[in-house]
Structure 1
């Protein structure tokens, strides 16, 4: 098809699509550059080749900058015209394939982003709401994932007899595999609620996790404990976690000495239960190693927690102080902090 001016060319483009268009730089009714820009915007799949009677590098550069596939100087012989059309059709095919692949890739990325968003919402929904306050104790947590989804988890729930179970775990790795292992570990620990002694329950939970951990060549560190707010008695199993401090009021702190190996390292690990007592005003603080990126001083276990955290009036204030800044920076690892604070039991009237 031949169009003798820009207006006629527009009418032809409205009626059909063209694979290749040869466009003169100088048209009778307007500049070819204006029509070139319009075609690039409305007909991106058309390979436009600019033709000119002027051998001027600046004109050629302007044509390419405006989106032309090529710039050729007249006269154009039959063989040259043939090669011109064939080569630019090939280039057009490659560019169309590239755009299609890019669109598919963007669609895949958008779909994965949506899946990750839903997974993050699901994972967040598994975590208990913070703070949790009952007669005799307060529980609070801070959680910030380094990626959309995390391998860290915390959990707590109260038994019918008044005791409280608290867990914090950190799965080796990040992203989707770690998050799946996190859900497995949380479910396994919940499944052994009420098993006594505590170390037997952790061993049973470890058996449930072991196959998945071996398949993913992973392990998980866990701090798992039960607390009786009536007496202050705390029983715990530290399976390779190590980041737990018992604050004695504002002035001092104790380390929890009993330690066992992480779950998934050795199949025959013997887990050991430690026992401590929280007095009114004492607090148990447990955190994942991601907190050490924010507070490297805490890697030294004898270093006391910051004074602002120790003097915090509530468990929520305590974890907020410790995790301050976690949501304002790019994290290398997930940051999880949990605090259990023993408070005075409210007096009850005599029967």
Structure 2
């Protein structure tokens, strides 16, 4: 509180009590009005498609905030006070268009599912699976193209539900259109890149110029993505199934590849003796080639773990297995944790991967780094250098490991999210259900960076339930 107002000492021009009370009541009333709107008015409750930010209903701009955090939106509105400048909230329809326009600008370049479009301008809306005519300029996606796409998305109930159709479903829709003889044939636009500077550059999205013109696809093949990526996606869906339900522990994962498929992986394997092997790994590179290396690594790991009880021996045999098949200069980083469910003892190995984080409100040291540094897999070092880190887990413990895509998420000033911020997010969410923790850590990194990830991101969490 302002000391001059609350003090009983004499001042030359004290504020009249009635005026002070009136101003205070007005401010409180304004806060209550804003909170009522944030809770009850759909125009004030809109968030970005990836749920990383709240949308200012007066300007349509995105304000980074965690889901359910009304304080950020309230403070933003109280700080900007747009109604004092004659501004009113936009309509919900206009805000939906702005929401989808922002999403497309951020993801159009990276997600090929958003770019199934023909040379005639017919575009496949990937949520509802309906075709829509959008404008192209010299077979290039411009700001007008994205605006037309956003209007289509804003009217699509399926888009509002937020679930993209599967690769297979979209591919079938593209093929069905081609089979009906609708010219021209449809294909996925090539990856996009920044356009060169030009006089009409203001009409172009900074990252939306197609690198080569759209061309008719062969009649027998209308791929959503390249054939190799489609095959890799199908394989990865089988290799990275949902985590198992294991009595006595909680498990959760957030997996977010940069492209349709990626080089991150995770697994949870129950051994014959009842112990549980959990891994998080990262293959150098992105896309189909990295995904195929992931597949080979996971197959080898599952085969070896079936008859090898020792963790270091598993890592040594895995290294010897994959080193022969990795392309020159490629490698795999891996964190592995072997947990005895009866005693809650575990041992962990870091093979080129950073240490995991162990947090608990019940420990004297609330946060501990877990894992001794060792060499990555596939470098041909002969299996020298891996040491297990042994520890005793207890009720209330949460062990979290991630890939470097989370820690290296950078903001506009090229400052990385880093381990310190990741640790703070973990500590701040210790009381939350473990199934929410990986997603919250990923969302916190996105909010910090204020832009999409530029690498594959995986976060795996293991929790020992608290007693009682």
TM over 0.5: yes
> What's the counterpart of residue 346 of structure 2?
234
Pair 1:275-2:390 in alignment = yes
Aligned to 1:317: 436
Contact 2:409-2:417 within 8 A present in 1 as well? no
Structure 1, residues 65-110: CA drift from partner, whole Å, max 9, x if none?
xxxxxxxxxxxxxxxxxxxxxxxxxxxxxxxxxxx99324898773
CA distance, structure 2, for counterparts of residue 320 and residue 330 of structure 1 = 14
Deviations 1:231-258 (CA, angstroms, capped at 9, x unpaired): 1111111101014111123771111141
Partner residue in 2 for 1:126? 239
Q: Which runs of 5+ in 2 are unaligned?
A: 1-119, 121-212, 411-415
Shift of 1:115: 4.9
Aligned pairs for 1:30-109 within 5 A: 102-104=215-217
What's the counterpart of residue 325 of structure 2?
Answer: 212
Contact 1:135 1:345 in 2 (8 A): no
CA drift at 1:173? 0.8
Corresponding residue of 2:17: none
Assess, with a 3 A threshold, how the Cα gap between structure 1 residues 250 and 170 changes in structure 2: closer, same or farther: farther
Say yes or no: does 1:149 pair with 2:261.
yes
Separation in 2, partners of 1:140, 1:304: 19
Deviation at 1:217, TM superposition (A): 2.3
| Whole-angstrom distance in 2 between the partners of 1:266 and 1:116 | 29
Q: How far apart are the structure 1 equivalents of 2:402 and 2:426?
A: 14
Q: Are 2:278 and 2:336, in contact at CA under 8 Å, matched by a contact in 1?
A: yes
Alpha carbons 1:238, 1:259 under 8 Å: kept: yes
Q: 1:337 to 1:111 in 2, by over 3 A?
A: closer
1:198 paired with 2:311, answer yes
Normalised TM-score (structure 2): 0.47
Q: Deviations over 1:129-187 (max 9, x none)?
A: 14x43321011111001011111100002234321110111001111111111111111
Distance 1:171 1:144, change over 3 A: same
3-state DSSP of counterpart to 2:432:
coil
Mapped to 1, the partners of 2:429 and 2:442 lie a distance apart of 10
Paired with 1:101 and 1:320, the residues of 2 have a C-alpha distance of 37
Alignment partners' CA distance in 2, 1:147 and 1:107: 25
Aligned 8 A contact 2:349 2:371 in 1: no
Structure 1 residue 319 displacement after superposition: 0.8
Is contact 1:245–1:253 with CA below 8 Å preserved after alignment? yes
Query: Alpha-carbon deviations, 1:177-230, whole Å to 9, x = none?
Result: 1111111111121122142431111100100000112x3420010011211122
**Structural RMSD (CA):** 3.2
Seen in structure 2, the aligned counterparts of structure 1 residues 170 and 304 have a Cα distance that, compared at 3 Å, is: same
The Cα shift of 1:345 comes to 8.3
TM-score, length-scaled by structure 1 = 0.62
Distance 1:292 1:128 in 2: 24
Cα pair distance change 1:330/1:301, threshold 3 Å: closer
The answer as to 2:336 corresponding to 1:336 is no
Which structure is richer in relative contact order (CA contacts within 8 A, separation 6 or more)? Answer: 1
**Structure with bigger gyration radius:** 1
Q: 1:196 to 1:157 in 2, by over 3 A?
A: closer
Asked if the contact 2:355–2:370 (Cα under 8 Å) also holds between the matched residues in 1, the reply is: no
Change beyond 3 A, Cα 1:117–1:302: closer
Q: Secondary structure at the match of 1:254?
A: strand
The alignment covers a number of residue pairs equal to 245
Q: Provide the C-alpha distance between the structure 1 equivalents of 2:351 and 2:294, rounded to a whole number of angstroms.
A: 15
The residue aligned with 1:52 is none
Question: Cα distance 1:260–1:301, how it changes in 2: closer, same or farther (>3 A)?
Answer: farther
